[in-house]
Amino acid sequence: MMYYPLLESGELDIEDIRPQATPFALLGVQPAFDLDEALLERHYVIMQNELHPDRFIGKPDVEMSGVRMMSAWVNAAYKKLKDPVLRAKALLRISGSKIPGEGDKTIIDPVILENAMEWREELETLKSPQEFDNYSAKINSIFDNYKQQFSKAWNNHDKELMQKTYLNMTYVAKALEQAKEKRLFLAGIFYK
């Protein structure tokens, strides 16, 4: 039997120790891309109440350390399931699929790369809040389409489409984040 020392919260992901301890398993929800948000929220709150530090006052330090670590794992699982890209990645892991961009780091899909370059170039031309709003609406619509595509691929057990869609989702999410950052940076100019 292998023993692991108790680490401070956030130092080790539980999936590194027990691959079957997926974010879905930790929060007691079925693996799916389309989650019941209310059920996820309810299970998260229950777990956090069970792991609240006040429930362990006077307990040995080793028990407190274990509770802090478990609480960190529950928080990380919740964060993964709330984020569509991280949720898709968790589902790829569950399906036994290779995670695109992980390990080899080389992504060779000319269509994805061309789209990403076009989005970046378009982002550089944006000047007004309205232009940012229009750009964000367009990219959000693309992201919503990829989320629907990933959900269908998961439901149909189409690993290849799941991988390709996940990769597209990562690029679109990055485009959205870049737009948000640029708009915040320029906000002082827009709202003086």
CATH for 68: 1.10.287.110
Q: What is the DSSP string of 152-163?
A: HHHHTT-HHHHH
Residue 41 lies in a domain: yes
Residue 92 lies in a domain: no
Please check whether residues 76 and 119 belong to one and the same domain. Answer: no
Q: Which domain holds residue 126?
A: 110-190
Q: What is the DSSP string of 119-150?
A: HHHHHHH--SHHHHHHHHHHHHHHHHHHHHHH
pLDDT score, position 102 = 79
State mean pLDDT over 164-189. Answer: 85
> Where does a domain end: 66, 82, 98?
82
b/e map 82-96, b = 16+ CB within 10 Å: eebbbbbbbbbbbee
User: Quick check: 152 pLDDT over 70?
Assistant: yes
> Where does a domain end: 31, 63, 82?
82
pLDDT score, position 173 = 94
The tens digit of pLDDT for each residue in 30-73 reads: 999 999 999 999 999 999 988 887 787 888 888 878 888 888 88
Please check whether residues 128 and 78 belong to one and the same domain. Answer: no
Number of domains in the chain: 2
pLDDT score, position 164 = 92
Q: What is the DSSP letter of 96?
A: T
State the Cα torsion 32-91-176-115 to the nearest 10°.
Answer: -120
Which region holds residue 28: left if phi is over 0, alpha if psi is between -120 and 50, else beta? left
pLDDT score, position 89 = 95
Query: Which CATH number do you get for residue 130?
Result: 1.20.1280.20
pLDDT score, position 45 = 93
Q: With bands split at pLDDT 50, 70 and 90, how would you rate the model's confidence at 132?
A: confident
The tens digit of pLDDT for each residue in 80-130 reads: 999 999 999 999 999 998 888 777 665 667 888 898 899 989 988 988 888
pTM assigned to the model: 0.81
Residue 102 lies in a domain: no
Please check whether residues 117 and 172 belong to one and the same domain. Answer: yes
Please check whether residues 186 and 146 belong to one and the same domain. Answer: yes
